[in-house]
Amino acid sequence: METSRRDVLRVMAGVTGFLAVTRDIQANPASPSPQPTTVHRSYRGKMLYLSDGIGETGREWFHVTIQPDGTRTMRATCEMDDDQLLRDVVLTVDDQWYPIDAFVKLTVEAKPVGSSWFYFTKNTAECQGFTSQEGRVTQHFATEGRIGFFGAHQLHGDAWACATLTRDKDLTPTVPDLNFSSSHMPNGGSGPTLVPTPADFIRKQYVGQERVEVAAGQFDTEHFQFFVADFPPIDIWTLGADFIPVKLRWDLLKQDYELIELDCDPA
């Protein structure tokens, strides 16, 4: 009997302790775990290459993050079926749309063509890379001020080139600042290296506001034209302050480029 009485007392003591702990938890509930916060905003989407009389012949996926100070980084993957070309681009620009740095990796016919890193300052443009034709590449250009644009041949990059253009359709086409590209070929299939662009090689023109319908929906866009040397103009329709490409058209390649997916945080 004595042993049973002690067992009962122990059980009662355990129950009393549990109730005390429960009351303490109820009176002082633990603070909820802090939720992670994201200080940047982002958007992502997909575009199709549509060749006249054929249909889809390529595609581009893009993902852009924008920091509170206005710095933005684009990540784009481009596939071009006819050329068996695969291109990966990472490009960062500052709040004034001046290029800061970039990385381009190029593959053609399932073989590596090259990969290079680019860096831009107020008075220099640099490249460190390796290509199948040139081997190890080191380039350094002195510049008078920041370069206005770095063309890595991704569609979204062409839309960003419109960001610094004055919105006045009555102005004559504007000659942009000093520019560089990663390839001299229309499809961007060489290099990638730093290729200087002559001052009069590209001119920009603002056309006006237009409502455009594509597979991703209807958008109120701004229409721009790029005149490249003696080639037909490149028409570009962009969306909002982020200059998201909605549609492009280049008669030289007989292709349209249209937005089919868009997922974005509010600007």
CB count within 10 Å of CB 169 equals: 12
Q: In tens digits, what is the pLDDT along the chain, a chain of 267 residues?
A: 445 555 544 544 454 454 454 455 455 555 566 666 778 999 999 999 999 999 999 999 999 999 999 999 999 999 999 999 999 999 999 999 999 999 999 999 999 999 999 999 999 999 999 999 999 999 999 998 888 889 999 999 999 999 988 776 666 655 556 789 999 898 999 999 999 987 677 888 899 999 999 999 999 999 999 988 788 999 999 999 999 999 999 998 899 999 999 998 766
> Where are the strands (E) in the chain, listed by range?
41-51, 55-66, 72-80, 85-93, 99-108, 111-120, 124-131, 135-142, 149-151, 179-181, 195-197, 202-214, 217-228, 234-239, 244-250, 255-264
Beginning with the edge strand found earlier in the chain, give each strand of the sheet holding 195-197 in spatial order: 149-151, 179-181, 195-197
201 inside domain: yes
User: Residue 226, CB half-sphere, CA atoms under 13 Å: how many?
Assistant: 20
How many angstroms separate the CA atoms of 30 and 191, rounded?
58
Domain encompassing residue 214:
42-111+148-264
pLDDT of residue 204: 86
β-bridge pairing 99-108 and 244-250: unpaired
- Amino acid occupying residue 80: M
Q: Is residue 213 part of a domain?
A: yes
Residue 33 domain-assigned (yes or no): no
Q: Is the dihedral of CA 168, 236, 183, 102 positive or negative?
A: positive
Q: Examine residue 5 and state whether it is found in any structural domain, yes or no.
A: no
Please answer whether residues 184 and 227 qualify as being in contact, where contact means their C-beta atoms are separated by less than 8 angstroms.
Answer: no
Give the number of other Cβ atoms within 10 Å of residue 136's Cβ: 8
Pairwise CA distance, residues 249 & 258, whole Å = 9
**How many domains would you assign to the chain?**
1
What b-and-e string marks burial along 224-242, b requiring 16 or more CB atoms within 10 Å of the CB? bbbbeeeeebbbbbbbeeb
Residue 231 lies in a domain: yes
d(C-alpha 207, C-alpha 225), whole Å: 7
Q: What is the pLDDT of residue 21?
A: 43
101, part of any domain: yes
125 found inside a domain: no
What is the C-alpha to C-alpha distance for residues 180 and 182, in angstroms, rounded to an integer? 7
- Whether 137 is covered by a domain: the verdict is no
Residue 186's φ and ψ, nearest 5 degrees, are -55, -30
- CATH code at position 92: 2.40.360
